[in-house]
Amino acid sequence: MIKKMKFAFAPFLLLLILGACSDNEEAAAPAEEATAETAPAESSLELPAQEDVVVIVDGEEILGNVYNSVARQLETTLASQGHAASEDTGEMVKEQALSVLVGNKVILNDAEEKGYEADEETVKERLEDLKGQFESEEAMNEALEQTGFTLDDMEVQLREQLVYEQYVAEEIKPVEVTDEEVQEAYDGFVETSEEEVPALEEMEPNIRQSLEEENTQDAVFTRIEELKESAEVEVKI
């Protein structure tokens, strides 16, 4: 489970931040509903101030507001999996949150070196989508302020998200999913399901897609580990 958490959250830093905003507005978009859940009743996290530097990657500072958004979501995910708030859970969340932040940064730095850039029209479209999630500009600004972000910060995150997506699509070459793996996953689902399971032919597209996503995540995680070998990382918390 821990290995999966290291890479599964890396592409979704932006959504975690946006989810925190929309939680305050109680108006999450469908994409955020997949990542934004109710926070656990108790928290074991020791969160830095929003403006504190939590980690420096190749000379670039990452602040507490970003760390806190990721850490809260990781804690919520662990809580949904039955992990009660504790000192051990807090340390686990801290380790994983830092891993997410560093992983994002080394990927983005490599993407910049390779010349990847965000399409500005797409950035504008996504920014308008963000604004549309709130009843008014004032409500949006209030929600952003509570998370320590500004609209300019969101635009930066949107741009980085697009670059990240391009990089993964072009640079990451996951292992192909075999028919045998699809069959094995289906058989496992049949064995564990308490309800009647549809035929393999019906479930095959979803199973294959899920396995492809897992392979992509594995490949992203491998690339991150390779890039971290030559990166300068200084943890400040």
pLDDT in tens, the chain (237 residues): 334 444 344 444 444 444 445 444 443 333 333 333 444 556 778 899 989 999 999 999 999 988 988 888 888 888 887 777 777 888 888 998 999 999 999 999 999 999 999 999 999 998 898 888 888 888 888 888 877 788 888 888 889 989 999 999 999 999 999 999 999 999 999 999 888 999 999 999 999 999 999 999 899 999 999 999 999 999 999
pTM, to two decimals: 0.76
Q: Which residues contact 235 (CB under 8 A, 6 or more apart)?
A: 54, 55, 98
Any domain includes 137: yes
Any domain includes 20: yes
Any domain includes 179: no
Q: Are 103 and 155 in contact (CB under 8 A)?
A: no
CA distance linking residue 167 with residue 222, whole number of Å: 14
pLDDT for 89: 80
pLDDT for 179: 96
Any domain includes 197: no
Any domain includes 216: no
Any domain includes 188: no
Q: Are 43 and 53 in contact (CB under 8 A)?
A: no
pLDDT for 4: 42
CA distance linking residue 133 with residue 61, whole number of Å: 29
CA distance linking residue 63 with residue 80, whole number of Å: 27
Any domain includes 63: yes
Q: Are 65 and 147 in contact (CB under 8 A)?
A: yes
Q: Are 54 and 69 in contact (CB under 8 A)?
A: no
CA distance linking residue 47 with residue 237, whole number of Å: 9
User: What domain range includes position 89?
Assistant: 2-173+231-235
Query: Per the structure, how many domains does the chain have?
Result: 1
Any domain includes 149: yes
E strand residue ranges, the chain: 53-57, 60-63, 233-235
Q: What is the CATH number of the domain that holds 110?
A: 1.10.4030
Return the number of other C-beta atoms located less than 10 Å from residue 230's C-beta: 9
User: With the CA atoms of 141, 142, 143 and 145 taken in that order, what torsion angle do they form, in degrees rounded to the nearest 10?
Assistant: 80
pLDDT for 183: 96
